[in-house]
Structure 1
Amino acid sequence: MSDFAARRRTMVDTQVRPSDVTKFPIIDAMLSVPRESFVPTAQREAAYVEGLIDLGNNRCILEPRTLAKMLDALNISNDEMVLDIASAYGYSTAVAARMAQLVVGVESDEHLASEAQSVLTEENVDNAVIHVGPLEDGAAEHGPYDVIMIQGGVEQVPDAVLDQLKDQGRIACLFVDGQLGTVRIGHKAGGVVSWRDAFNASALVLDGFSQECAFSL
């Protein structure tokens, strides 16, 4: 039987802490949430390896370092609502739920959404819910949100998503430009989101978040 708890500690000690993520709530969450429960059964043994977990169809579970550094930059507090887009099996949703008041995960794949909701229930994550619908639509009926994070690559963020961010809210996205990926943190003020580069990472671009081809007469 695999000692997943030991692997979880190793993940935090070798992937998270060396990436300058030291905030207690993030370390505690990543030590507490069993990542192996939130991946496909066939990939449980790979749950704690360095790197992202490919789910096919341009979907993935971001590598632990990327998620941890996103959470570090977002600095979620326990009175805030979080929108977690492309939540897949719900790992990022479960981790964020240990810091936030409420997390809404958005998943377009009904099978993934059902699996995620089941595991969240089994793990007694009672302050998170999975919303089924197109990723690029977010979940406006539960918002607006203090924090939004997207679990995959983007070339652009639809206005429909940005509109769900509260004024003074924060958003983390992994912008992909060719082979390069940069996580940017956006702050909303006066209805406008201003972005700053945070760190480099990689992921495939999610459907619905690619750059529209410019068309001109």
Structure 2
Amino acid sequence: MTNFAARRTMMVDTQVRPSDVTKFPIIDAMLTIQREDFVPAAKREAAYMGENLDLGEGRVLLEPRTLAKMLDALDISRDEMVVDIGAAMGYSSAVIAHMSEAVVAVEESESLSAEAQDALAEAGVDNVVVHMAPLTEGAPQHGPYDVMIVQGGVEELPLGLQDQIKEGGRVACLFMDGALGEVRVGYKREGEISWRRSFNAGAPVLAGFTREQAFEF
């Protein structure tokens, strides 16, 4: 019988804390939420590895360090509404729910959405709404949001998503340029987002989040 509780503690002690993530709400959430319940059954044994976990359908569960550092940079508070783009089976949303008022988990895959609903209910997380829609559309009907986070690589953030961030709100994205990537946090002021570099990471670029290629003769 695998001791997942011990693996969870080890994940926090060897992947999260050494990455300078020390905020109590993040540590507490990552020690509490059972990551193995938010991955396909065949991948449970790999749930706590320090790398992105392939979920199929071109999607990954971001490595614990990347998610923890994104949350650290966003500094989410208890009274904030968060939209989690590409929530997959709901792990990131469950973690964020632990430190925010409510989370809208946007997922376009029917199977992943259903898995997320089940896993979140099983975990007793009751402040997450799973919203099935194309990731590039988000969930404008529930917004605007204090915070947005994208669970995967992007080359650019669609304007329709930028519009769902409140004035004064913020967003974390993992921008990929070929094989290299960096997480940036954007702050919305007067309708514009200004980006600040946070740390290096990597993940496959989500479908629909690639940059439009300029047409050349």
Q: TM-score range by the shorter chain?
A: over 0.9
Look up the match of 2:55.
55
Look up the match of 2:143.
143
Q: CA deviation at 1:56?
A: 2.6
Look up the match of 2:123.
123
Kindly indicate whether residue 183 of structure 2 is the aligned counterpart of residue 183 of structure 1: yes
The whole-number CA distance in structure 1 between the counterparts of 2:127 and 2:216 is 47
Look up the match of 1:68.
68
What is the TM-score with the length of structure 2 in the denominator? 0.99
The whole-number CA distance in structure 1 between the counterparts of 2:11 and 2:44 is 14
Q: CA deviation at 1:129?
A: 1.1
The whole-number CA distance in structure 1 between the counterparts of 2:216 and 2:6 is 57
The residue type paired with residue 172 of structure 1 is: A
Look up the match of 1:16.
16
Look up the match of 2:39.
39
Kindly indicate whether residue 208 of structure 2 is the aligned counterpart of residue 208 of structure 1: yes
Give structure 1 regions of 4+ aligned residues with deviation exceeding 2 angstroms: none
Q: Secondary structure of the equivalent of 1:112? A: helix
The whole-number CA distance in structure 1 between the counterparts of 2:77 and 2:63 is 23
Kindly indicate whether residue 107 of structure 2 is the aligned counterpart of residue 107 of structure 1: yes
Q: CA deviation at 1:215?
A: 2.7
The residue type paired with residue 102 of structure 1 is: A
Q: CA deviation at 1:213?
A: 1.1
The whole-number CA distance in structure 2 between the counterparts of 1:58 and 1:172 is 20
Q: Which runs of 5+ in 2 are unaligned?
A: none
Larger deviation: 117-126 or 54-63? 54-63
The whole-number CA distance in structure 1 between the counterparts of 2:119 and 2:178 is 35
The whole-number CA distance in structure 2 between the counterparts of 1:104 and 1:124 is 16
The residue type paired with residue 55 of structure 2 is: L
The whole-number CA distance in structure 2 between the counterparts of 1:118 and 1:58 is 21
Matches within 5 A, 1:164-183: 164-183=164-183
The whole-number CA distance in structure 1 between the counterparts of 2:197 and 2:58 is 23
Number of residue equivalences: 217
Q: CA deviation at 1:101?
A: 0.2
Q: CA deviation at 1:216?
A: 6.0
Look up the match of 1:27.
27
Q: Percent identity?
A: 62
* TM-superposition CA deviations, 1:26-45 (whole Å, max 9, x none): 00000000000000000000
Q: Secondary structure of the equivalent of 2:9? A: helix
* TM-superposition CA deviations, 1:104-130 (whole Å, max 9, x none): 011000110011011101111000011
Look up the match of 1:82.
82
The residue type paired with residue 146 of structure 2 is: D
Kindly indicate whether residue 158 of structure 2 is the aligned counterpart of residue 161 of structure 1: no
Q: Secondary structure of the equivalent of 1:106? A: strand
Superposed CA RMSD = 0.8
* TM-superposition CA deviations, 1:3-54 (whole Å, max 9, x none): 0000000000000000000000000000000000000000000000110101
Q: Secondary structure of the equivalent of 2:136? A: helix
Q: CA deviation at 1:57?
A: 3.0
Q: Which runs of 5+ in 1 are unaligned?
A: none
The whole-number CA distance in structure 2 between the counterparts of 1:159 and 1:106 is 16
Q: CA deviation at 1:55?
A: 1.7
The residue type paired with residue 134 of structure 2 is: P
